[in-house]
Chain A
Amino acid sequence: MSKRIDVKDLNVYYGNFLAVEDVNINIDAKSVTAFIGPSGCGKSTFLRTLNRMHEVIPGARVEGEVLLDGDNLYGPGVDPVTVRSQIGMVFQRPNPFPTMSIRDNVLAGVKLNNKKISKGEADVLVERSLQGANLWTEVKDRLGKPGSGLSGGQQQRLCIARAIAVEPQVILMDEPCSALDPISTLAIEDLINELKDQYTVVIVTHNMQQAARVSDKTAFFNIAGTGKPGKLIEFGDTPTIFSNPTEKATEDYVSGRFG
């Protein structure tokens, strides 16, 4: 239940502005890949192109190929909705649906698509997804309560449960811990470690310790200056990137001399 992603010569534009230039990267199945880099370097933009969520932003478009186990996401006739049901996403700010209970939030991916599901199957799915997001013990007695009543960290784990309930191949996380306290962050990091047994995980983070803790591979993005496109500078095993990078810019960034 997980697929690899290969990106070939990808350029991302906002209108005529080239935001991210010429990215080539191979993300292994069942691994955690972290994207690090200064603000505005295009990490999040690039992450969104991996499940075509950038198309929500007016004027955003890409050139190049993103292959999910060999299938190009941008091939002719590919439905972005199909892509997104295979590649889930967790956002920076927890965003449970305010009109739904905790249980309905987990089932949102199923119910919003009007798929028929029996109550028994739904119960199993809710429990499995919440177990998978390490949230089951905390909420099992109040599944009918609104999701917005949970704490920020619990809401974020609820969003992860919601994402894994649709059984995607890949989970993208856009700075999932930046709005959370250290304890909740730790809970999410533990969860990421468990998720990689089943899913391919790609995470954008500003926290380099976090990248070092959770990821198998790390990609460093940088930008030459304002108005210039972001670029993938270096991609490799996390220990190598943090202790023995090839590029000078990477070394400066991870050692805190810059950025």
Chain B
Amino acid sequence: MTSTLTPVRKRSALTKGQLPKAAPYIVLAVALVLAAAILALIGFNPFGWAVVSAILFTAGLTGWSAAVEGSRRAKDRMVTCLVVGAFLIALLPLVSVIWTVLVKGLPGLMDPGFLSTSMNGVTGAFDNKAVEQGAPIVGGIYHAIIGTVLMTVLATLISVPVGLMTAIYLVEYGGDRPLARAITFFVDVMTGIPSIVAGLFAAAFFFAVVGPGTKTGAVAAVALSVLMIPVVVRSSEEMLRIVPNELREAAYALGVRKWRTILKVVLPTAISGIASGITLAIARVIGETAPILVAAGFATSINNNVFSGWMASLPTFIYTQILNPTSPSNPDPSNQRAWGAALVLIILVMLLNLVARLIARRFAPKAGR
């Protein structure tokens, strides 16, 4: 038996030069110091400091890497820097929005009765007193929360059956028929309808059918469902299309009728995606302002009936509080209420997104042994 000696090397012949593990941190520190020095010459500001540091960091790391590791690794490092940079830029507005709303909205949210009272009977005199004598800011968004919830629920009740059944027709029955192609086209067009136009349509429709001046929560719900239906159709269609054909065939081969196959095999398989799509569609319309203003008007008191009377909602509440403060001479309490309502709205949307994820996980086909 012959044995070959394994040559002992300090470094593998398969590698080129390598930067130390801490290289990015070293470059980052140098870049920060250097950028601070450069900016000190022309006047320091944090934003410029971050931008100059990022440019210096990218250039420095790429250059060092090119010198030691070769051009392929250098390109890799540069693209990594660019991707991370793009990610940070994308994240910046989001973090900034959440931060601003939190800081400005929390005081409003902390006002006593903010979530449990309406603006009924709250006049400019109260706000003047709050600013001048330090009395507590009264009034709340209870009526707006009720309005938003009722109108969104009604819009969902209208859109989900219509949208889901349209999607089922498109995927299971439509094929390449002219009707299916026409529906797809019009759904695409509907996706692009400006929300104010949807509001005008719903208002005009109810003016014509019920009577002039009909402005109720139901009108707004119709306007919202005009916006929601295309989203529901699109997302449900995607989900139904990715259900493997094998499952439909398996059901047919067992002698199961088509509608039962759709109801009991196709829909349950796709339900997690459909449910999260619907939740996202709700999150999309819950913040609509223009159609509600046009179709449901604005109210300061609690209205629990979507079929009669004007109705408030969170977005229109924010809009009117900013544009027409309760006390024109002292707008600060109104501003505070508006920011509080904005915070509540963002929390609602975030909760809905969270619910979508939970639903998706809950209904997802389980694998396991």
Closest partner residue, chain B, to A105 (CB atom):
B250
Q: Please tell me if the beta carbons of B244 and A163 are within 8 angstroms of each other in the complex.
A: no
Q: Please tell me if the beta carbons of B254 and A93 are within 8 angstroms of each other in the complex.
A: no
Residues of B within 8 A of A109 (CB): 254-256
Q: In the docked arrangement, what's the CA distance between A86 and B246, Å?
A: 20
Contact (A84, B250) CB under 8 Å given A97-B265, A99-B268, A149-B368: no
Total interface residues on A, using CB and 8 Å? Answer: 34
Q: Please tell me if the beta carbons of A53 and B269 are within 8 angstroms of each other in the complex.
A: no
What's the minimum C-beta distance from B240 to chain A, rounded to whole angstroms? Answer: 14
Total interface residues on B, using CB and 8 Å? Answer: 27
Q: Please tell me if the beta carbons of A112 and B253 are within 8 angstroms of each other in the complex.
A: no
Q: Please tell me if the beta carbons of B368 and A112 are within 8 angstroms of each other in the complex.
A: no
Q: In the docked arrangement, what's the CA distance between A51 and B250, Å?
A: 13
Q: In the docked arrangement, what's the CA distance between A150 and B133, Å?
A: 73
- Chain A 88-120 residues near chain B, CB threshold 8 A: 88-89, 91, 93, 95-99, 108-109, 111-114
- Chain B 350-367 residues near chain A, CB threshold 8 A: 365-367
What's the minimum C-beta distance from B368 to chain A, rounded to whole angstroms? Answer: 5
Q: Please tell me if the beta carbons of A113 and B256 are within 8 angstroms of each other in the complex.
A: yes
B175 at the interface (CB under 8 A from A): yes
Beta-carbon contacts of B165-200 to A below 8 Å, as 1s and 0s?
000000000011000000000000000000000000
Contact (A112, B367) CB under 8 Å given A51-B253, A95-B247, A95-B250: no
Residues of B within 8 A of A95 (CB): 244, 246-247, 249-250
What's the minimum C-beta distance from A107 to chain B, rounded to whole angstroms? Answer: 10
Q: In the docked arrangement, what's the CA distance between A150 and B252, Å?
A: 23
What's the minimum C-beta distance from B17 to chain A, rounded to whole angstroms? Answer: 47
Q: In the docked arrangement, what's the CA distance between A93 and B248, Å?
A: 13
The binding surface of chain B is classed by DSSP as: helix
Contact (A146, B367) CB under 8 Å given A82-B255, A109-B256, A113-B256: yes
Q: Which of B249, B261, B268, B368 has the most CB of A within 10 A?
A: B249
Q: Please tell me if the beta carbons of B365 and A146 are within 8 angstroms of each other in the complex.
A: yes
Q: Please tell me if the beta carbons of B253 and A146 are within 8 angstroms of each other in the complex.
A: no
Residues of B within 8 A of A97 (CB): 247, 250-251, 265, 269
- Chain B 279-309 residues near chain A, CB threshold 8 A: none
A77 at the interface (CB under 8 A from B): no
What's the minimum C-beta distance from A25 to chain B, rounded to whole angstroms? Answer: 21
Q: Please tell me if the beta carbons of A145 and B369 are within 8 angstroms of each other in the complex.
A: yes
What's the minimum C-beta distance from A176 to chain B, rounded to whole angstroms? Answer: 13
What's the minimum C-beta distance from B222 to chain A, rounded to whole angstroms? Answer: 34
Further contacts, 13 of them, CB under 8 A, given A82-B255, A150-B369: A56-B249, A56-B252, A85-B255, A95-B247, A98-B367, A99-B269, A109-B255, A112-B264, A112-B265, A146-B365, A148-B365, A149-B368, A162-B250
On B, residues with C-beta under 8 Å from A are 175-176, 244-257, 260-261, 264-265, 268-269, 365-369
17 residue pairs bridging A and B, Cβ less than 8 Å apart: A56-B245, A58-B175, A81-B257, A82-B255, A84-B255, A89-B253, A96-B250, A97-B247, A97-B250, A98-B269, A108-B251, A112-B254, A113-B260, A145-B369, A148-B365, A163-B254, A166-B255
